Structure 1
Amino acid sequence: MTGSTTVAGVAALVQEALKAYDDDPAITAVLQGFARRLAEPLRVAVAGMVKAGKSTLLNAIIGEEIAPTDTGECTRIVTWYRHGQTPRITLYPTHGSPRSLPLKRVDGRLVFVLGDTQAGDVDRLDVEWPSPTLRNMTLIDTPGLASLSEDVSARSHSFLAPADTPSEADAIIYLMRHMHASDMRFLESFRDTEAGQSGTVNAIAVLSRADEMGAGRIDSLLSAGEIAERYRRDQGLRKLALGVVPVAGLLAQSARTMRQQDFAALQLLAGLNRADREKMLLSADRFLRSTIPEGLTSGTRSSLLARYGLFGIRLAVVLIPNGFDEPTPLAHELVRRSGLDSLLDLLGRQFQARAEVLKARTALVGVESLLRTSPRPGTGHLAATLERLHANAHEFRELRLLAMLRTAGVPLSPELGMEAEGLVGGWGAASHVRLGMDQGATLDELADEARRYLLRWRAVAENPLTDRSALDACRVVIRSCEGLLAEFSARGRQRQPV
């Protein structure tokens, strides 16, 4: 089965289930929700402990300061960010009808005006915003886990990892400042055990506030990168997340939303001689108390520090004299150095490239749970269809193998194990990523490499010394290689003139 036929098969299963349960309004509403999810953009939740920097990172991804980053009531509410032609905020109370909230900006930042409504009385906020990022991905900001308020923590847990139903999120970006046992426990609870044991494909870990790991030094991201690489190799985390990326979220957010007055202030600082500048930037207090350069007010200093932090200021004033002397190039370079580009690349390779399969998996989990918890006569054909989808959908077999490679393991050599992980999409679903080739590789080069891998894995499968328990893994890898060759052949035919 191809990705499109898998999704079509799951969509048909949901419609059949709707017919079977059409006399039960509650179940019908749940199934209609699954049908909508298949047609909507992928849902990606941003989660983590309190003060991990979730809303700041979300703003950086969207490129707008629309998520509240303070400690007010709104940070205790699950908030959805969807694409819309015009900005709109809708409040859904736990009891009663939804109502629109006024749109209000203060100092360039969107402010949520709840009025007399308390966070505990709000089920969710729904923000529609005309951001290109939100066309292909709905982002969900969740309250901090391990909050002092048990109610706030429980709300996040029940939303992200409910006991008896699929999560509202198809995938998750999990922020952590260090790898703690509580982080591992949450990621374990988010991993589903239903659709093909596929829990390793729906989580990415972010080492947030990465600039703080080097005390705000200009090389802080290098130190954070070494820590992230160590976490990536950790066997406990490998089975729960597809990767670990260090990101300086505050710098990423402010660089994506750089203002002309920010650049003018940074340019003034960059014009100082190096000794004075370094002395002034030794600490936040020194920076705020300094009287140089002339023209930089205390209010501007406070704003710069709040928006960029010492790390961002130090980095910017070094970049400006080295060729990044215009606002746009400077903003792009700061974003790159913040680690955000690496995160967006990983999101594209791991989530958006297999968005349809992730959504199909979520719907399949939901129908499977429904048949288990609410059985009734005459639904045997649904169970048979569900089992057939599990067995025949190659995408789910890839997910099962990926989970096995990262958890229990497969009796293959380490070299073959790593190769198999790449070929079934462990480093990204795009064809050139699976083959370990550059994005600019030609169709013929890609086909030659896929053919080489196909012959290699057929030889492994036919080798009498290959462990019998590894043969299923070989078959999945062979099928993936055959699928790549079929894709390249189809693309080649499309290029030929009629």
Structure 2
Amino acid sequence: MTASTTAGAAALIREALEAYGDDPAAVEALHVYARRLAEPLRIAVAGMVKAGKSTLLNAIIGEEIAPTDTGECTRIVTWYRHGHTPRITLHPTRGEPRALPLKRVDGRLVFVLDGVRADEVERLDVEWPAPALRAMTLIDTPGIASVSQDVSARSVRFLTPEDSPSEADAVIYLMRHKHASDLRFLESFRDTGAGRSGTVNAIAVLSRADEVGAGRIDSLLSAGNIAERYSRDPNLRKLALGVVPVAGLLAQSARTLRQPDFEALRVLATLDRAARERMMLSADRFRRSTEPAGLTEEARASLLARYGLFGIRLAVVLIRNGFPEPTPLAHELVRRSGLDPLLDVLDRQFQARAEALKARTALVAVENLMANRPRQGTENLAAALERLQANGHEFRELRLLAALRTTGVELAPELAAEAERLIGGQGAAAHLRLGLPPGCGPQALAEEARRCLTRWRAAAESPLTARSAGEACRVVIRSCEGMLADCANSDRQAQSA
């Protein structure tokens, strides 16, 4: 299904290039959107100041390449793309782009702006050979609701431009608590051109989740309960696909676990439980403690900066309970940080729909071009745009998903919940749509898809189903038919192999 959607968007851009061939600005913009169709999905990381955006970005990438301090670079929109050779390019607001030197301090990448002020920089482009960046381009944005109105405005302009699609296809939005400003931003992102395609382009993250329980070892459990409550909030539910709790600092440090960290944690694990609990009553007490003798104050400060009290407590408990080696410990810390569920959501909701999200951005670009620069002779282009918007099934799914989560559809509650699942509200993969466990073969998937198809055809024909729900039923039926066709193709391929 996605191949035809992408091809349709590409054909639409080619037709627009013919119609606007004498308009250099329009041609340049259309070429940009054509390239976006071939690029990885663009995912912006947004949130208020000190929400932990750069830390989470480092955790997703698996390397410490995004600055996490409060310096000039955190006030600049920074793109992280895959590249075979590390490279940093500064794009000034005026003048030509220029390469910046690559510099690392204590293992971290440091951006040297050579005297250029943040307000003189349009963006930084970082190319890095990280496997995670092959499938997505990550965009680190300055804090929203910053004390500096200029810093906040820079993020808002980038993510929610007034007269063009957002530069991002999707957003990971970090929040420490649910504030009105969080809802306002998510609402404005949904109201941009790209956002009008539905709610599948935003995921909320309850960041710094380890701080919810004051660093206790069960902090993530408490954060999980809060995230679950937030995800059921009707005001947030219509703006984001879900809320995932993540201890970003722990995730970042676990993904980049160093041997000195492990040695220091192993020394701490030699203390008995009572002594450990006394020294970890507060960060200050831990830093000033004299136990154990083999741990310097510098090592303690480094552990606190990299893991926090929650991460230190958890790592020590794990070392004492079956994780005495660095690699297994790092993997378990990542799992416990909440990063794995977030990556799973990104894969199910964003990557599985990447082509549809990118195609939607291209369609909005053409729609805006025609609205802002109307001209004669574009009737065929307008008709082609309307056909794609109306007939592209992925777009119909996104519109229905938006309706189910906002204005509602006149369906019984159990049918509405099933419709949301079948059109990909919990993930675009067939087993997620059908509510089956992963690893199901084509036959099991086809049987369940057939049962769903029969049920929804009956619902569409039932006199008890409101007439206004007819379009929703047709979208769900088409989704079931698509899954059946995919299962048949998979079965044929398996037989011919």
Band of TM-score, shorter chain:
over 0.9
Q: Hey, what does 1:174 align to over in structure 2? A: 173
Check whether the contact 2:198–2:401 (CA below 8 A) recurs between aligned residues.
Answer: no
Offset at residue 497 of structure 1 (A): 2.8
- SS of residue matched to 1:174: strand
Q: Hey, what does 1:424 align to over in structure 2? A: 423
Q: Which moved more, 1:192-201 or 1:383-392?
A: 192-201
Check whether the contact 1:196–1:390 (CA below 8 A) recurs between aligned residues.
Answer: no
Check whether the contact 1:270–1:317 (CA below 8 A) recurs between aligned residues.
Answer: yes
Q: Hey, what does 1:361 align to over in structure 2? A: 360
Offset at residue 197 of structure 1 (A): 3.7
Q: What is the correspondence of 1:55-454 to structure 2 with a 5 Å cutoff?
A: 55-192=54-191, 194=193, 197-454=196-453
Q: Distance in 2 between matches of 1:9 and 1:249?
A: 39
TM-score normalized with structure 1 length: 0.99
Deviations 1:344-388 (CA, angstroms, capped at 9, x unpaired): 000000000010000000111111011011011111111000000
- SS of residue matched to 2:294: coil
Deviations 1:205-230 (CA, angstroms, capped at 9, x unpaired): 00000010100000000000000000
- Structure 2 runs not aligned, ≥5 long: none
Q: Distance in 1 between matches of 2:118 and 2:424?
A: 41
Offset at residue 440 of structure 1 (A): 1.3
Q: Hey, what does 1:13 align to over in structure 2? A: 12
1:307 partner letter: R
Offset at residue 307 of structure 1 (A): 0.1
Q: Hey, what does 1:486 align to over in structure 2? A: 485
1:218 partner letter: I
Q: Distance in 1 between matches of 2:264 and 2:413?
A: 53
Deviations 1:220-267 (CA, angstroms, capped at 9, x unpaired): 000000000001001111110001000000000000000011011000
- SS of residue matched to 2:183: helix
1:207 partner letter: L
Check whether the contact 1:195–1:364 (CA below 8 A) recurs between aligned residues.
Answer: no
- SS of residue matched to 1:245: strand
1:279 partner letter: R
Q: Distance in 1 between matches of 2:89 and 2:10?
A: 29
1:199 partner letter: G
Offset at residue 122 of structure 1 (A): 0.3
Offset at residue 194 of structure 1 (A): 4.7
Check whether the contact 1:64–1:257 (CA below 8 A) recurs between aligned residues.
Answer: yes
1:459 is aligned to 2:458:
yes
Change (3 A) 1:403 1:325: same
- Off by >3 Å, runs of 4+ in structure 1: 192-197
1:208 partner letter: S
- Structure 1 runs not aligned, ≥5 long: none
Offset at residue 20 of structure 1 (A): 1.3
Offset at residue 290 of structure 1 (A): 0.7
Identical counterparts, % of pairs: 75
- SS of residue matched to 1:172: strand
TM-score normalized with structure 2 length: 0.99
- SS of residue matched to 1:366: helix
Check whether the contact 2:269–2:317 (CA below 8 A) recurs between aligned residues.
Answer: yes
Q: Distance in 2 between matches of 1:443 and 1:392?
A: 27
Q: Distance in 1 between matches of 2:197 and 2:390?
A: 14
1:76 partner letter: R
Offset at residue 148 of structure 1 (A): 1.1
- SS of residue matched to 1:277: helix
Q: Distance in 2 between matches of 1:97 and 1:269?
A: 52
Q: Distance in 2 between matches of 1:193 and 1:477?
A: 26
Check whether the contact 1:16–1:382 (CA below 8 A) recurs between aligned residues.
Answer: yes
Q: Distance in 2 between matches of 1:203 and 1:367?
A: 23
- CA-atom RMSD, angstroms? 1.0
Q: Distance in 2 between matches of 1:22 and 1:361?
A: 22
- SS of residue matched to 2:69: coil
- SS of residue matched to 1:70: coil
2:246 partner letter: V
Q: Distance in 2 between matches of 1:469 and 1:377?
A: 36
1:335 partner letter: V
2:419 partner letter: A
Q: Distance in 1 between matches of 2:106 and 2:209?
A: 26
Q: Distance in 2 between matches of 1:193 and 1:464?
A: 38
Q: Distance in 1 between matches of 2:9 and 2:228?
A: 37
- SS of residue matched to 1:81: strand
2:120 partner letter: D
Offset at residue 198 of structure 1 (A): 2.2
Offset at residue 294 of structure 1 (A): 1.5
- SS of residue matched to 2:144: coil
Check whether the contact 2:165–2:193 (CA below 8 A) recurs between aligned residues.
Answer: no
Q: Distance in 1 between matches of 2:431 and 2:421?
A: 10
Q: Distance in 2 between matches of 1:198 and 1:235?
A: 19
Offset at residue 193 of structure 1 (A): 5.9
Q: Distance in 2 between matches of 1:412 and 1:369?
A: 34
Offset at residue 195 of structure 1 (A): 6.7
1:30 is aligned to 2:23:
no
Q: Distance in 2 between matches of 1:251 and 1:103?
A: 26
Aligned residues: 497
Q: Distance in 1 between matches of 2:4 and 2:367?
A: 19
Q: Distance in 2 between matches of 1:497 and 1:83?
A: 36
Q: Distance in 1 between matches of 2:192 and 2:166?
A: 12
- SS of residue matched to 2:35: helix
Check whether the contact 2:165–2:192 (CA below 8 A) recurs between aligned residues.
Answer: no
Offset at residue 192 of structure 1 (A): 3.6
Q: Which moved more, 1:215-224 or 1:433-442?
A: 433-442
Q: Hey, what does 1:470 align to over in structure 2? A: 469
Q: Distance in 1 between matches of 2:414 and 2:406?
A: 16
- SS of residue matched to 1:91: strand
